Structure 1
Amino acid sequence: MKTTYSLLFILLLFQCSYVNSQTKNSKENPSDKVDALIAKYNFKNGPGFSVAVIKNGAIVYKKGFGIANLEYGTPITPTTVFQIASVSKQFTAFAILLLEQEGKLSLEDDIRKYLPEMVDYGHKITLRNLANHTSGIRDNTALANLIGTNEADLLSNEQAVKLITSQKGLNFIPGEEYEYCNSGYILLAEIVKRISGQSFADFAKAKIFNPLKMKNSQVVDDPETIIKNRAYSYHKYNNIYCKSILNHSFVGSTNLNTTTEDLCLWTMNFEKKNIGNDAIFNKMKEKGKLNNGELIPYGLGIENRTYKGLNVLFHGGGDADYGSYILRIPEHNFSVVFLCNSHLFHPLDFVYNIVDFYLNDKETKTNSKPIFDQNLLKSFVGDYEVFPGYIVSISKENDTLFHLAKGDTISNRVKLIQTGDYEFTYPNLPHSKFVFNKTNGQITEFLKWHISDFSYKGKRIEIKEFDTEKINLNELVGLYYNAELNTTYKFIIKENNLIATHSRNSDAIFTAFQPDLFVSNLGEIEVIRNEQNKVIGFYLMTQGIRKIKFEKMNDK
């Protein structure tokens, strides 16, 4: 009997031990998978990242990998401070909504109520237009590039505001289109400053960081600010790590410096609501609406998407070589925070894999192999202008589509991988695909090029044959000035090429694309002529700027 009891006791202990072990392993399994995913990367003597996972109001995973400062060998930890770039926009939208809740402004207000120096474009631009990227205002980054500044240059928020408010034209009528634009958030931060009487940095500290106990967070509006425990960003050149310099002090669109631990507090606040309320959070996640009623994926500082049947709220960012990403799945009280200090690590290679590890049983499964309608392929063939001067040529051979950038040799042609009737992966860029509009077999009028979380629309164009020998480059030689940018470009001919020179920018070689239409890495120019057919200027088009006019100053 004693032996029987002893055996039963041992079996009971074994069973309990087995159940506890299985429970423990079950709980640890997702974290183990995260570790296994990260173990594939080499962090020895190089940059890295910090990642955290929040589930049901608790941090279930947080670790740092790699080096924050290569000069001193400082390791990355969950308390390492990163510049989070465009993820900063969540905080700017939240600040505006706090002021709206206090009755100090409305999202439907005309921005000229707070920014009277803005040009009257003949169309009302609201604060909401700024916050959901439907304003039509030219992008600050593109404007700064044209005047010859880069991320290493000192450029203050005050200068950025002056540059934006000096613009006399819009890219489109407000509310007609959705086009991601940093300018809108720079202006929103300026509005917060003017209404509150505080700098945007001080407002964010008093109204957001302090109440949430985000002790290692600050908006940096002065590049000389000392930031303790800071990660610097790095890129590789000739297999050697180099520091990526970042001196811009724009706020609102970027320049929040924080940690994964602090961002966990921010993320958990969407459920706990220590500051803010349902009205604010619902406005942030609500999809924007165009004038025609079409919904866009962007809300206010938050974007929407569906991933394997899960409703995801997210925002990513990148400045210099910093990368950042916050992902939330509210219905499962689940979030991921990812910060890195090199583009060697792509946030999308991690965050959605982590979702799979933790929420696999909640995802929609698709096991069947798709069968594609090959008859549609011929309707996709053609030339599409994605950015001004950047033409995508889509060709077909047998049952395969190919991509070729206009001007490239056929050896650079890229085979597209079909993943749907209208969807094709572009393998030369991570997380990139082409999606054609549905046409029921008719000619496709446009495509969308998705690169990471961004989407760029390319419209089908007709390229006309013309005789390049008849182009008179000499009539384009001269100085061209734009008052909105207060900058001048000089066009010269060198080795039979039309060259645009600038006091700060590198020379740009312009190639004739169509009669009176030239393209370069600077953008696309359309020649302007008077009634006597004399060249009097040009319109320049580039990503973020649809059309800006330069006037010819002389004929030398």
Structure 2
Amino acid sequence: MPALKSPLIAALLAGAALSAPAIAAPDDSAARVDAIFAPWSGGASPGCAIGVAKNGKPILQRAYGLADLELDVRATPASIYEAGSTSKQFAAAALLMLERDGKLSLDDDVRKYIPELPDYGKTIQLRHMVSHISGLRDWGSVAALEGWPRNSRTATNDHVLEIARRQKGLNFAPGDHYLYSNTNFNLMAIIVQRVSGQTLAEFGRKRMFEPLGMTHTQWRDDHARLVPGRAKAYDRNADGYYIDNVIEDAYGNGGLLTTVGDLLIWNEALDRNTLGISEKLATRAVLNDGKPIAYAAGIVQLEHEGLQEIAHSGATGGYRAWAARYPAQKLSIALLCNAGEVNSTEIGHRVADIFLPPAAPAKPYVAKGPFPSGLYAEVRTGFPLRIAATADGITADGRALKPVSPGRWDAPGGDLIFGKDGSLSRLTREGIMVAFRKVEPVASPAAADFTGRFASIDNPVELVVSGDGNGIAINRPGWPPLKLTPSYKDVFVSEMGLISFVRDGAGKVTGLKVSDGRAYNMAFERSGN
């Protein structure tokens, strides 16, 4: 009797429908999908599983390549992969469900639940964390600086908290900017446990996975636990494939073990608002200046070929993932891979294009010179960008760019926009406008100015800078010396990241700052020569 159906029964029925075998895809769609995955469809490589649903019903579920190269086990649509950062929406959903239950509010100060964090003078709200606008440094960047990069030891969420609590600075004031930081979501897992009395793994199983019928899904809170049907992860180098499994127990930022069928169930539950949090999960964050960004709560609101897309990609170890919904077209895509060379977003879009209405052909734009050139630095971070003019257009750090419109060029990380006044800015895919300033390049600064020992003010690490007639190098624990390549005054680039030296009023170098893509201005003070 439909009138007596409970929300739970409705959810279970929805899950059962999506767990059923996929009906045949229309026309030649299956063959076109097969062609996309042809490079991984042989018997000697890892590969991917792909799931497509239309109007809430699976129309295609296929798998390619091997789940285990050593044992020659073929992948199937039921193979379990790790979803990487596609997992973040599940941690965010847990927080939103607790808010719906009246147990917390996204407006709360994170220190209400994690008082171990420093008081930075400005409140970090939970809503800042779910959208990466908190300013918290990414723990992986800090750990790498200390000599143990991601997946080099069995890190836990307690390790993440230990790193976060000793950071004396933020990347930026909460709400001022967007910067992807895994720290937000590992701390959210801790908050879920402290508020609900259940680990995020337990909460997810009882409140999401079991009610929705996601019978093959669990959190990787113990990487050594046996998981029947799990595909091993691989990456490749010049010698071929090698195992690149995840050995971390930190989760919330990633760590969801799942199948493409279960991800389709999840997407359908979000479309139907079965959990009652879909709208908030997909609501774009707003910065302090009132500008909305693309990132919502563990998920991204973008457009693909002019169509609304709600999606998130993932990459951890040798696993790659992507899950997307196109609400107006009632289309859902789930992609999981155990081949590290796969660009999951690019491959996922190619699959989606088979099932979406054809996009209108773009009108080509041909740029006319003269073209700009010079060295620029991001105003906020100092990261350099070298623009060089060519006969046909421009390059950015040696990569040819495609003109979009007058003064605008398609570039990695977002469009570069040149103003008539000579200014340069970047509009990122998240909707952030990043300003640049023009700087004068430096070729060979005096090594003696920079040599010495430098101790971190936040972390148990000391860096040693050495130099001679052959250049300048920097040492960190557990790593060979890294070459410092001069960029502009007192600023160098290296495999460690951006190294910016600090001088006192007399011009003497007294410290340095290390920045990478997810942690800015990690400060070091000169501790000796």
- Residue 65 of structure 1 and its aligned partner are, at CA, apart by 0.7
Matched letter for residue 402 of structure 2: I
Q: 1:289 & 1:374 partners in 2: Cα distance?
A: 37
1:422-501 to structure 2, matched below 5 A, reads: 422-425=407-410, 432=412, 435-437=415-417, 439=419, 441-448=420-427, 459-464=435-440, 468=444, 471=446, 473-474=447-448, 476-493=450-467, 496-501=470-475
- Residue 481 of structure 1 and its aligned partner are, at CA, apart by 1.6
Matched letter for residue 442 of structure 1: D
Q: 2:157 & 2:102 partners in 1: Cα distance?
A: 26
Structure 1 counterpart of 2:368, from 365, 368, 374: 374
Q: Which deviates more, 147-156 or 127-136?
A: 147-156
Match of residue 376 from structure 2: 384
- Residue 91 of structure 1 and its aligned partner are, at CA, apart by 0.2
- Residue 494 of structure 1 and its aligned partner are, at CA, apart by 5.9
Match of residue 259 from structure 1: 259
Bigger Rg over Cα? 1
Q: 1:159 & 1:524 partners in 2: Cα distance?
A: 25
Residues 504-524 of structure 1, C-alpha deviations (whole Å, 9 max, x = no match)? 233222233334333322122
**In the superposition, relative to structure 1, how do residues 424 and 532 fare at CA in structure 2: closer, same or farther (>3 Å)?**
closer
Q: Which deviates more, 459-468 or 83-92?
A: 459-468
Match of residue 3 from structure 1: none
Contact 1:285–1:303 (8 Å) recurs in 2: yes
Match of residue 343 from structure 1: 340
Contact 1:137–1:183 (8 Å) recurs in 2: yes
- Specify every segment of 5 or more residues in structure 1 that has no aligned partner in the other structure, as ranges: 1-23, 406-412, 427-431
Q: 2:25 & 2:67 partners in 1: Cα distance?
A: 33
Residues 514-537 of structure 1, C-alpha deviations (whole Å, 9 max, x = no match)? 343333221222323445544332
**In the superposition, relative to structure 1, how do residues 458 and 506 fare at CA in structure 2: closer, same or farther (>3 Å)?**
farther
The TM-score with structure 1 as length reference comes to: 0.84
Contact 1:384–1:459 (8 Å) recurs in 2: no
Q: 2:51 & 2:237 partners in 1: Cα distance?
A: 30
Matched letter for residue 388 of structure 2: S
- Residue 390 of structure 1 and its aligned partner are, at CA, apart by 5.1
Matched letter for residue 381 of structure 1: S
1:281-360 to structure 2, matched below 5 A, reads: 281-360=278-357
Q: Secondary structure at the match of 1:46?
A: coil
Q: Secondary structure at the match of 1:436?
A: strand
Matched letter for residue 494 of structure 2: S
Matched letter for residue 335 of structure 1: S
Q: 1:59 & 1:355 partners in 2: Cα distance?
A: 14
Contact 1:475–1:535 (8 Å) recurs in 2: yes
Match of residue 408 from structure 1: none
Residues 219-260 of structure 1, C-alpha deviations (whole Å, 9 max, x = no match)? 112222222211121122224111114212221111111111
Cα root mean square deviation, aligned: 2.6
Are 2:493 and 1:519 equivalent residues in the alignment?
yes
Contact 2:139–2:182 (8 Å) recurs in 1: yes
**In the superposition, relative to structure 1, how do residues 534 and 383 fare at CA in structure 2: closer, same or farther (>3 Å)?**
closer
**In the superposition, relative to structure 1, how do residues 353 and 531 fare at CA in structure 2: closer, same or farther (>3 Å)?**
closer
- Residue 424 of structure 1 and its aligned partner are, at CA, apart by 3.9
**In the superposition, relative to structure 1, how do residues 291 and 242 fare at CA in structure 2: closer, same or farther (>3 Å)?**
same
Q: Secondary structure at the match of 2:224?
A: coil
- Residue 81 of structure 1 and its aligned partner are, at CA, apart by 1.0
Contact 2:300–2:310 (8 Å) recurs in 1: yes
Q: Secondary structure at the match of 1:190?
A: helix
- Residue 399 of structure 1 and its aligned partner are, at CA, apart by 4.1
**In the superposition, relative to structure 1, how do residues 399 and 509 fare at CA in structure 2: closer, same or farther (>3 Å)?**
closer
Q: 2:158 & 2:408 partners in 1: Cα distance?
A: 43
- Residue 38 of structure 1 and its aligned partner are, at CA, apart by 2.8
**In the superposition, relative to structure 1, how do residues 324 and 188 fare at CA in structure 2: closer, same or farther (>3 Å)?**
same
Q: Which deviates more, 296-305 or 232-241?
A: 232-241
Match of residue 62 from structure 1: 61
Q: Secondary structure at the match of 2:310?
A: strand
Match of residue 415 from structure 1: 400
Matched letter for residue 247 of structure 2: N
Match of residue 389 from structure 2: 396
**In the superposition, relative to structure 1, how do residues 522 and 30 fare at CA in structure 2: closer, same or farther (>3 Å)?**
same
**In the superposition, relative to structure 1, how do residues 524 and 167 fare at CA in structure 2: closer, same or farther (>3 Å)?**
same
Q: Secondary structure at the match of 1:468?
A: coil
- Residue 26 of structure 1 and its aligned partner are, at CA, apart by 8.8
Q: 1:455 & 1:340 partners in 2: Cα distance?
A: 28
- Residue 209 of structure 1 and its aligned partner are, at CA, apart by 1.1
Contact 2:450–2:509 (8 Å) recurs in 1: yes
Q: 1:26 & 1:174 partners in 2: Cα distance?
A: 46
Q: 2:69 & 2:431 partners in 1: Cα distance?
A: 34
Q: 1:239 & 1:131 partners in 2: Cα distance?
A: 40
- Residue 180 of structure 1 and its aligned partner are, at CA, apart by 1.4
Length, aligned pairs only: 505
Q: Secondary structure at the match of 2:498?
A: strand
Matched letter for residue 285 of structure 1: A
Are 2:93 and 1:94 equivalent residues in the alignment?
yes
- Residue 205 of structure 1 and its aligned partner are, at CA, apart by 1.2
Q: Secondary structure at the match of 2:280?
A: helix
**In the superposition, relative to structure 1, how do residues 388 and 72 fare at CA in structure 2: closer, same or farther (>3 Å)?**
farther
**In the superposition, relative to structure 1, how do residues 62 and 552 fare at CA in structure 2: closer, same or farther (>3 Å)?**
same
Q: 1:231 & 1:354 partners in 2: Cα distance?
A: 22
- Residue 358 of structure 1 and its aligned partner are, at CA, apart by 1.7
Residues 178-225 of structure 1, C-alpha deviations (whole Å, 9 max, x = no match)? 111111111111111111112111111111111112122111122222
Matched letter for residue 325 of structure 1: W
Q: 1:224 & 1:106 partners in 2: Cα distance?
A: 35
Q: 1:252 & 1:323 partners in 2: Cα distance?
A: 16
Matched letter for residue 327 of structure 2: P
1:105-124 to structure 2, matched below 5 A, reads: 105-124=104-123
Contact 1:424–1:433 (8 Å) recurs in 2: no
- Specify every segment of 5 or more residues in structure 2 that has no aligned partner in the other structure, as ranges: 1-22
Identity %: 27
- Residue 290 of structure 1 and its aligned partner are, at CA, apart by 0.8
Q: 2:226 & 2:39 partners in 1: Cα distance?
A: 34
Q: Which deviates more, 476-485 or 318-327?
A: 476-485
- Residue 123 of structure 1 and its aligned partner are, at CA, apart by 0.7
- Residue 500 of structure 1 and its aligned partner are, at CA, apart by 1.8
1:93-172 to structure 2, matched below 5 A, reads: 93-150=92-149, 151-172=151-172
**In the superposition, relative to structure 1, how do residues 217 and 530 fare at CA in structure 2: closer, same or farther (>3 Å)?**
same
Q: 1:180 & 1:459 partners in 2: Cα distance?
A: 18
Matched letter for residue 360 of structure 2: K
Contact 1:388–1:523 (8 Å) recurs in 2: no
Contact 1:52–1:61 (8 Å) recurs in 2: yes
Matched letter for residue 177 of structure 1: H
Q: Which deviates more, 484-493 or 184-193?
A: 484-493
- Residue 448 of structure 1 and its aligned partner are, at CA, apart by 4.5
Q: Which deviates more, 97-106 or 29-38?
A: 29-38
Matched letter for residue 396 of structure 1: A
Contact 1:508–1:522 (8 Å) recurs in 2: yes
Q: 2:288 & 2:323 partners in 1: Cα distance?
A: 29
- Residue 126 of structure 1 and its aligned partner are, at CA, apart by 0.5
